[in-house]
Amino acid sequence: MREIVFDTETTGIDPRQGHRMVEIGCVELIDRMPTGKTFHAYYNPERDMPAEAEAIHGLSAQFLSEKPLFFDEVEAFLEFVGDDKLVAHNAGFDFGFLNAELERCSREAICLSRKIDTLELARRKHPGGKHSLDALCTRYGVDRSHRVFHGALLDAELLAQVYIELTGGRQIAMGLVPVADNVGEAARDDRIVPLHPSADRPVRPPRPHTASEAELMRHAAFLERIARPIWNR
């Protein structure tokens, strides 16, 4: 089963007010395991960058002015995501911007039946708790110490780990992460150290686990003293 976990960065909160998508990051999962394949791109929004948005993701209008238009790179994105399910946190926001960009390209919108919203999953699994990506990373022990600004690919990678935990989990904090033969190196958790015999550990002979003849005799004598044992009924 292939799924794509993705995140976007934008110039604002509403594409209907002329705001644009400026970054997208995608992480491929196969059977809920990262394969190491990703897609990441910046886009020129052809407009200014509000200060409040830049404060969140750190992307300036000058930096983005040198990036390609989404129109020119749409094929690469569509080829990567294919027809598979798309996982996002507060997915309505990301789908809204993504489909607005596709509409500008006269391309078919991505059907909402492909949407998996981790915010909805978190609210059902942890009612009354905090459901931001940061809060879920803390809950599941996902390291986000390198997250200074919001970044689409970084957030998608964090969300992929959270999504795995929300849907069954690999118990990240305990290091119990199976690695399939066909999974890329990015899926391997460097914190997992295989156990090897210690060279300086003394070798002890195996202990006997069967009762001795004397023990069997004492046990039989004990059973004889029990009046009306249930195993004789």
**Active-site position among 40, 89, 150, 219:** 150
**Cα distance between residue 148 and residue 116, in whole Å:** 26
The number of helices, as runs of H, and strands, as runs of E, in the chain is 8, 5
* Distance between first and last Cα of the chain: 56
Give Cα separations from 131 to 96, 116, 124, 221 (angstroms).
20, 15, 10, 64
Q: How far apart are CA 60 and CA 43, in angstroms?
A: 12
Residue environment code for 46-65, b if the CB has 16+ CB neighbours within 10 A, otherwise e: eeebeeebbeebebebeebe
Q: How many CB atoms lie within 10 A of CB 104?
A: 14
Contacts within 8 Å (CB) and 24+ apart, 53-59 = 53/10, 53/11, 53/12, 56/9, 56/149, 56/150, 57/9, 57/22, 57/23, 57/149, 57/150, 57/151, 58/148, 58/149, 58/150, 58/151, 59/9, 59/22, 59/23
Annotated catalytic, 150?
Answer: yes
Q: How far apart are CA 164 and CA 140, in angstroms?
A: 10
Residues with a known catalytic role: 150
